[in-house]
Chain A
Amino acid sequence: MTLLETKHLTREFGGVIAVNDVDFIVTEGLVTGLIGPNGAGKTTLFNQITGVDKPTSGSIFFDGKEITGLPAWKISRMGIARTFQNIRLYRELTAVENVMMGLHFKVGESPFHNRFQQAIKSYIFASRENREVYSKAMEWLRFFDIDQSAQEFARNLPYGTQRELEIARALAAGPKLLFLDEPAAGMNPAETEHLMHVVDKIRSLGVTVVLIEHDMKLVMNICDQITVLNFGMKIADGTPNEIKKDKAVIEAYLGREEE
């Protein structure tokens, strides 16, 4: 079943067309890879979908609803979470506090109260609510086995842990769809290996994953579906085996074969 679909999505920056008429489809329950050479428009596509940036034209549908041009915080509440290419943690807060921020709309909001009532309620019961959010955040840290660093500042954590923490923060919001923007960038082979287990764990929660990645071993191993972008256009999509044999993809990565 299609969870996310973009139709003729285009984003222009002045004269540069970063994303050009892309139809990107994510099927529920699968791990979808988004690959392409540097500057192919992968992150721009992520930004359009997650509301960080607005598309020039085209439309985006998530779970049957149109989300084109909605602000990021609304899209996040509909069930799309993401991580960033250059890690965007709250650096001056501790690990557990970072995850608590991810729980912002999971605790303290109920459908029975309007916004004003909610604000008053969370003001009066602040410490009780804090404890509830704290224990839920600790569960997420335990899920990724990083609870021993709970009280450390995010900026002091090792690089691999920062990546995991960012994923934990994104997952804490209980998304249906998780975007990972180059999760393995800057990781050594052992850390990359560990990341594969992390993605498996995420999949076991029933969360659909989309990831941008340059590490082909990782992509071919964990993705069920791959979409390839080049110069803002979609040049191929299919299973890893189909992509490996695709002429256009080989051309984009290695150049045209001489006759």
Chain B
Amino acid sequence: MLNFFQLILIYSGVYAMMAIGQNCITGYTGMLSLCHAGFFCIGSYATAIMCKTMGLSFWLSLPVAAIAAGIIGFLIGVPTLRLKGDYLCIATLGLGEIIRNVATNINPVGYNSIPRVTLFGYQFASRNKLAFIVLIWVFVLIFYLLFQRLAHSRIGRAMTAVREDEVAAASNGINVTAYKIISFVLGAAVGGVAGCFQTAYTLTVQPASYTFMVSVMVLCTVVLGGMGNGKAVILGAFIIQFISYFPQLTGLTNVIPAQAKQIIFGLILVVMMIWRPQGLLGRDKFRYGDPRTFSERVSDTFRRKGKGGAV
């Protein structure tokens, strides 16, 4: 059981990373995209090819995966981002599948026995899950902080404006197309990095594991947690993975069929849309118009907690 609990922590880390990327696209800029599986696939393949075929280090494959996924994101983004809502969703869905099909055609069986990750002589073995948990969650934390700052910077403000009203944003001098592309490329790049960690843990890559279902799960994660809220999507990733591994965790694999999780995801989406469309935690409470400095904000948070009342 502890074993599966650790597995959940590892996969929820990978999904949290993807969800941070998806949150940048869907939560901040408001674009409904469904091709994160594609970026995930690119990242996984980057690590697989670089470590196995070229014999390079895993750490070198991280920036390469981010850049490759970013470039593909740019190429997908430029023609599709003039579309809105459902149309963008369908276009990106198709392009995500194209990435997987290209991968299948290049190498239908994928890659096996990819060399393990080493850091200062320490080797990350798959049975030592604790080391992976630390490795992956350190990177989740890094990306969380980077994107939190992005959301609160001028770029994030412009993205919010684009999400709220494109026409008004353009009349405020915001280059709507440029900010959409920036957000899409950054989101794609994080998705690529998530793929590297997936490969580093499983040490195999198969095209069949990057289906449309992965994109849906990532979107589900963001919607469940709360769009535009960094902490919420990480919580969402954990819940989604917990549901996925619930049968194994409780030892009920014979009772609960594996397909049950897809029914549960569907139910979650429906229930959330009806009762809590803003997600479990809702949108980030941070207001751009917060004149307090960082230390003042921290002390205010503690004072509020001391009074025992919510905002």
Contact = CB atoms under 8 A, between A and B. Distances in A.
A100 B288 contact: yes
Given A52-B167, A90-B165, A137-B289, A127 B172 contact: no
Nearest to B297: A127
Interface of A: 50-52, 71-73, 76-77, 81-82, 84, 88-94, 96-97, 100-102, 104-105, 107-108, 119, 122-123, 126-127, 129-131, 133-135, 137, 150-151, 169-170, 173
Contacts of A126: 149, 152-154
6 contacts: A51-B170, A88-B171, A91-B164, A100-B288, A101-B158, A122-B155
B169 A122 contact: no
B288 A123 contact: no
Interface size class of chain B, counting residues whose CB lies under 8 Å from the partner chain: 20 to 34
Nearest to A99: B289
B287 to A, nearest CB: 6
Contact of A90 (B155, B164, B290, B291): B164
Nearest to A52: B167
B304 to A, nearest CB: 16
Nearest to B146: A123
Nearest to A106: B173
Given A134-B288, A135-B291, A150-B289, A100 B171 contact: no
A133 to B, nearest CB: 8
A123 B173 CA distance: 19
B170 A97 contact: no
A108 to B, nearest CB: 5
Nearest to A119: B155
A123 B149 CA distance: 7
A129 B153 contact: yes
Contacts of B169: 73, 101
B161 A101 contact: yes
B291 A82 contact: no
B170 A123 contact: no
A76 B167 CA distance: 12
Given A97-B289, A104-B157, A88 B152 contact: no
B168 interface: yes
Contacts of A108: 154
B185 interface: no
Given A94-B287, A104-B158, A73 B164 contact: no
B150 interface: yes
B130 to A, nearest CB: 34
Given A104-B161, A126-B152, A133-B154, 15 more contacts: A52-B167, A72-B170, A73-B173, A82-B171, A97-B157, A97-B289, A101-B172, A104-B172, A104-B174, A123-B154, A126-B149, A129-B153, A133-B157, A134-B289, A169-B172
Contacts of B293: 127, 131
